[in-house]
Amino acid sequence: MTDSVPFFVAVASGMIRCATPVLLASVGECLTQRSGVMNLGLEGIMLAGALVAVVVSYFTQNVLLAILAALLVGLVIGFVHGVICIRLQANQVAAGIAMTILLGGITAFFGVNFVGKSIATISAVKIPVLGDIPIVGTIFFNQDPLVYLCYFIVPVVYWLINRTSFGLSLRAVGEDPRAAAAAGIDVQRVRYLCTMLGASLAALGGAYLALVYAQGWVENITAGRGWIAVGLVMFAAWNPWKALIGAYLFGLAISLQLRLQAAGSDVSPYLLGMLPYFLVITAMALSSIMARRKSQSHPAALGIPYAEQT
């Protein structure tokens, strides 16, 4: 057996790829939910992001435009979810699920024409100096540009939520919108903004699936990753860093189980297939038990529409 890459390096590098789409979506959802809006439409938004990325990439053969288009579509869907949940004050759970079903159908309908079409895809780009570091360089800095973007997004979102005045507003809006409004914060505007940003990150996650993985459109390309992202947010106690840990655990388990199989391991593929979900649930359950001691819980106004007092 002469492997081109050592086993654990291949596993770790696969982990990063597997985690990225889920991570993007769940970090975005952290932001959305911290402002008090629940968006269960991630699965559908990822599908929409993936399809739009494929369509734009097919017509322009330009991945940058494809990514921008996916982000834009995310913003638009986030806005629609905002209109339904923030302005019209509909039930957020029902609206999110309806959005997923609707977008699942729409993408399947329009996606048919794009199955198998040859599109511009994203390849790995080695970062000059960092990429030459043995092991670490191969794992972290020999990836595609969207992964590098992901390295920035998590700290930026964390910083945005916890260290900026906008973050203070959005946390206030998510905990007690009435008090926030009394303090002069435009509750609805903050919630719109967070919902739209969160949705556009989910759409970016979808674009990743299409442009890096499947290299084209396949119906139901997400295969449940949007739901995993929603689950990660809750178990990660609305903290982007914990969502990162959760997403990487999920990615690690997938990458590991596939490579164990490829290496001819004698463990049942059923057990291995269970690994990603088992690891994530265990780790997150442990972390939420620990978090409860520090009395961290969900944003108090999560899922509750806010009616402006007139």
- Residues lying near other proteins in the complex (CB under 8 A) are found at 1-5, 10, 14, 17-18, 21, 108, 112, 115-116, 118, 121, 123, 209, 213-216, 218-221, 223, 225, 254-255, 258-259, 261-270, 273
- Closest of 26, 11, 287, 4 to residue 154, by C-alpha: 26
Least distance between other proteins and beta carbon 150 (Å): 15
Least distance between other proteins and beta carbon 180 (Å): 39
- CB of 128 or CB of 264, closer to other proteins: 264
CB 265 within 8 A of CB 204: no
Calpha distance 18→253 (Å, rounded): 9
The CA angle 198-127-225, to the nearest 5 degrees, is 30
Calpha distance 77→113 (Å, rounded): 22
Calpha distance 16→33 (Å, rounded): 25
- Closest of 66, 88, 108 to residue 212, by C-alpha: 66
Least distance between other proteins and beta carbon 13 (Å): 9
- CB of 34 or CB of 225, closer to other proteins: 225
Residues 6+ apart with CB under 8 A from 110: 51, 55
- CB of 263 or CB of 285, closer to other proteins: 263
- CB of 232 or CB of 291, closer to other proteins: 232
- Closest of 119, 106, 116, 123 to residue 47, by C-alpha: 106
- CB of 45 or CB of 209, closer to other proteins: 209
What's CA 216's distance to the chain center, in Å? 19
Least distance between other proteins and beta carbon 102 (Å): 15
Calpha distance 139→136 (Å, rounded): 5
Least distance between other proteins and beta carbon 205 (Å): 11
- Closest of 198, 225, 215 to residue 19, by C-alpha: 225
Least distance between other proteins and beta carbon 116 (Å): 5
Calpha distance 287→156 (Å, rounded): 22
Element of type H or E holding 162? helix 145-163
- CB of 59 or CB of 79, closer to other proteins: 59
Least distance between other proteins and beta carbon 105 (Å): 10
Least distance between other proteins and beta carbon 121 (Å): 7
What's CA 278's distance to the chain center, in Å? 19
Q: Which two tokens stand for residue 69?
A: 């288009």
- CB of 4 or CB of 310, closer to other proteins: 4
- CB of 45 or CB of 197, closer to other proteins: 45
DSSP state of 239: -
